[in-house]
């Protein structure tokens, strides 16, 4: 027979997955995924479909609607991955007999890794900061100084910033971490925190509201165009660029991973070749000729 007799819907399966994430990986991971479902699943027609009645056509139509809302292929892939994980959990709990409805339709789109291939050096990052609107500049500058995910930074409160010791506490997908700040970053965050309460957003919009990807997305495109930078430029480009600079600058991969909030394996996978080239150049200094 296989499968449960309970009439679980896609929305319920997503909620159950968020609960599991909260128990096993903490609030940051759960909140991130819950946000994805809230934006792209919960109010979509697919939400009310019972898993036992879910078909490839339902999923294909969700995919079409999601892509039509804009965003990069990488953005789609991250959201599709979350939905697939929720449906796979339901299958493992025997709430649906087969993954036939989504196994093929939710495969990642190819060519979605541009944010890890486009690199902006310090001069180009400076141009981007200068071209950004007055409201966006603090966010772009901060992400040009630290290898953070944009969502992590905009979730930081003023109380997360320790000006005395030059540290910033960040909570993200991998938990909470303390990041040492350069003197330039300390001065920047002091300016961001000026006249704000401890509970306020550290890097906020002009009116104190929190940034989100939908409010910064169009503005960063305008700034990139004004700075004559590639159209693919986005805030994640800054994360890739700063990590690249840390690796090529000789910082060990363990520390890069710790500061960036990811694993050494991921840094090695995407940036290890840069360290090897850096080592090759350094070894030339040992030449006896």
The domain in which residue 231 lies consists of: 115-283
Among positive and negative, which fits the CA dihedral 6, 12, 17, 18?
Answer: negative
Residue 26 has pLDDT above 90, yes or no: no
The pair of three-digit structure tokens given for residue 117, joined into one six-digit string:
């291939």
Residue 3: closest CA among 58, 50, 72: 50
Is the domain of 209 the same as that of 279? Answer: yes
Taking phi over 0 as left and psi of -120 to 50 as alpha, with beta for the rest, 153 belongs to alpha
Is the domain of 143 the same as that of 252? Answer: yes
The values of phi and psi at residue 161, to 5°, are -100, 120
What is the C-alpha radius of gyration for the chain, rounded to an integer number of angstroms?
21
Q: Which residues contact 230 (CB under 8 A, 6 or more apart)?
A: 118, 224
253: domain CATH number is: 1.10.443.10
Half-sphere exposure of 61 (CA within 13 A, CB side): 10
Is the domain of 200 the same as that of 86? Answer: no
Q: Is residue 1 domain-resident?
A: no
The last residue of a domain, from among 89, 112, 135: 112
The last residue of a domain, from among 60, 85, 112: 112
Q: How many domains does the chain have?
A: 2
pLDDT band at 113, cuts 50/70/90? Answer: low
Q: Which of 2-6, 83-87, 169-173 has the lowest mean pLDDT?
A: 2-6
Is the domain of 126 the same as that of 27? Answer: no
pLDDT in tens, 189-222: 999 999 999 999 999 999 999 998 878 988 999 9
Q: Is residue 165 domain-resident?
A: yes
Is the domain of 123 the same as that of 260? Answer: yes
Residue 30 has pLDDT above 60, yes or no: yes
pLDDT of residue 29: 81
Strands (E), the chain: 161-162, 167-172, 175-180
pLDDT of residue 246: 93
Residue 270 has pLDDT above 50, yes or no: yes
Q: How far is CA 289 from CA 277, 278, 283, 284, in A?
A: 21, 20, 13, 10
pLDDT of residue 1: 40
Half-sphere exposure of 216 (CA within 13 A, CB side): 25
Q: Using CA atoms, how far apart are residues 208 and 228, in angstroms rounded to an integer?
A: 29
pLDDT in tens, 136-191: 999 999 999 999 999 999 999 999 999 999 999 999 877 899 999 999 999 999 99
- Tokens 């940034």 appear where? 211
Q: Using CA atoms, how far apart are residues 169 and 280, in angstroms rounded to an integer?
A: 35
Per the model's pLDDT, the better-predicted residue between 93 and 29 turns out to be 93
pLDDT band at 2, cuts 50/70/90? Answer: very low
The last residue of a domain, from among 62, 88, 112: 112
């Amino acid at each position: 027979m296989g499968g449960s007799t309970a009439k679980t819907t896609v929305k319920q399966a997503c909620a159950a997955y968020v609960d599991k994430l909260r128990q096993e990986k903490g609030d940051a991971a759960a909140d991130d995924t819950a946000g994805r479902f809230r934006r792209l699943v919960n109010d979509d027609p697919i939400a009310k479909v019972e898993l036992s009645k879910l078909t490839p056509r339902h999923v294909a139509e969700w995919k079409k609607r999601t892509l039509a809302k804009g965003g990069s292929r990488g953005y789609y892939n991250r959201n599709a991955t979350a939905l697939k994980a929720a449906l796979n959990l339901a299958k493992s709990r025997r709430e649906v007999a087969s993954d036939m409805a989504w196994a093929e339709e939710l495969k990642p789109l190819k060519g979605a890794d541009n944010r890890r291939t486009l690199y902006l050096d310090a001069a180009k990052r400076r141009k981007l900061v200068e071209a950004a609107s007055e409201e966006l500049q603090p966010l772009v500058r901060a992400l040009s100084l630290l290898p953070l995910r944009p969502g992590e930074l905009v979730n930081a409160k003023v109380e997360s910033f320790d000006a005395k010791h030059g540290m910033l506490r960040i909570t993200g997908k991998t938990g909470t971490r303390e990041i040492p700040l350069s003197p330039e970053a300390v001065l920047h965050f002091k300016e961001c925190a000026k006249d704000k309460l401890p509970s306020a957003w550290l890097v906020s919009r002009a009116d104190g509201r929190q940034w989100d990807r939908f409010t910064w997305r169009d503005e960063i495109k305008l700034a990139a165009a004004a700075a004559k930078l590639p159209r693919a430029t986005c805030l994640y480009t800054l994360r890739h660029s700063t990590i690249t600079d840390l690796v090529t600058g000789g910082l060990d991969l363990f520390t890069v991973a710790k500061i960036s909030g990811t694993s050494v394996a991921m840094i090695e996978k995407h940036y290890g070749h840069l360290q090897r080239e850096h080592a090759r150049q350094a070894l030339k200094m040992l030449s006896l000729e």
